Structure formats: structure tokens, C-alpha cells
Amino acid sequence: MATFVSGFVVGFTAVWQLALVTLAVVPLIAVIGGIYTTTIAKLSAKTQEALSEAGNIVEQTIVQIRVVFAFVGESRALQRYSAALKISQKIGYKSGFSKGMGLGATYFVVFCCYALLLWYGGYLVRHHATNGGLAIATMFAVMIGGL
């Protein structure tokens, strides 16, 4: 909380125009990060459930190994285990894709925000509204404080 308050205080006291622009883009980064986090959490829970099911199959097979051998059920147990692992593998593919898209989207938005803020900071410097050091300090203070 102290970082949040101090980042905005530094930003608004240094270059308030740039701090307002920075304040406008910080929620976008937070929203994308939140979507990424909830998606990964849901997929992780599904992966854990699928792997737990595969573990249960193995545990039941090992505990009842005499019965499995007596009824020649090794191949059936192996097929059940393989099917359970295929489910977790499919979820793993979805999880990997979601991680790639989530991090890619997050970094895309962050770098686009940096580009916007650097452009606007340059505009303010060019029109003698501030200097470069204050512009960079404002940008980083509000970005770090907002996240």
C-alpha cells in the first residue's frame, strides 16, 4: 500500500500530465494479469484432478496386484492409466497455450504502454513542459506504484 501511495505522490508532484496518462494504462495491465491468473488457476486445478485420477488408478492396481495378475488385467490397467494421462496431457497443452497467450498479451500491453508513455514524455519535453529525468521518474513511479 505504501508503494502504491508513494508512487502516485511522486508521479503527480513531478509531472502530473504524464502521471494521468500512466494512471489510465495501469488498469489495463492489471485486468490482463487478472485474466491470466484466473485462467491458469482453473487449468492447474483441472490438471491436478486428472493427475490425481491417474495416481488412483496406479494405486488401486498396485494394491490389488494379485487380483490383476489372476485375471490377466495388466493391459487393461495400463490402458486405463494411459487414458487418464492423455486427459492430463491435453489439459497441459491448454495450460501451455494459455501461459503463452497470457504472458504474451501482458508483455504486449506493457511495452505498448511504455511506448505511449515515452512518446508522450518526449512530447512534453519537446514542448518544454518538463525535462527527461522527471518524465522517466514519473512514468516508473506511477507504473511501479500502480502494479
> What is the rounded CA–CA span in Å between residue 89 and residue 69?
28
Residue 112: its pLDDT value, please? 92
15 CB contacts (<8 Å, ≥6 apart)?
A: 121, 124, 129, 130, 134, 135, 138
Q: What is the pLDDT of residue 38?
A: 94
Q: Is 60 exposed, middle or buried (0-12, 13-18, 19+ CB in 10 A)?
A: middle
In the predicted structure, residue 12 carries a pLDDT above the cut 90: no
Q: Got the DSSP string for 21-85?
A: HHHHHHHHHHHHHHHHHHHHHHHHHHHHHHHHHHHHHHHHHHHTHHHHHHTT-HHHHHHHHHHHH
Q: Which three three-digit cell numbers place residue 70?
A: 489372476
What whole-number percentage of the chain has pLDDT above 70? Answer: 99
Over residues 8-31, mean pLDDT: 86
What is the count of structural domains for the chain? 1
Domain that holds residue 94: 2-146
* CATH, residue 97: 1.20.1560.10
Residue 108 has a pLDDT of 94
Examine the pLDDT at 104 and tell me if it is beyond 90. yes
What does the mean pLDDT of the chain come to? Answer: 89
Q: What average pLDDT does the segment 39-56 reach? A: 93
Let me know: does 133 contact 15? Beta carbons within 8 Å: no
Asked if 120 and 25 count as a contact pair (C-beta separation under 8 A), the reply is no
Contact 109, 32 (CB under 8 A): yes
pLDDT value, residue 11? 84
pTM value surpassing 0.85: no
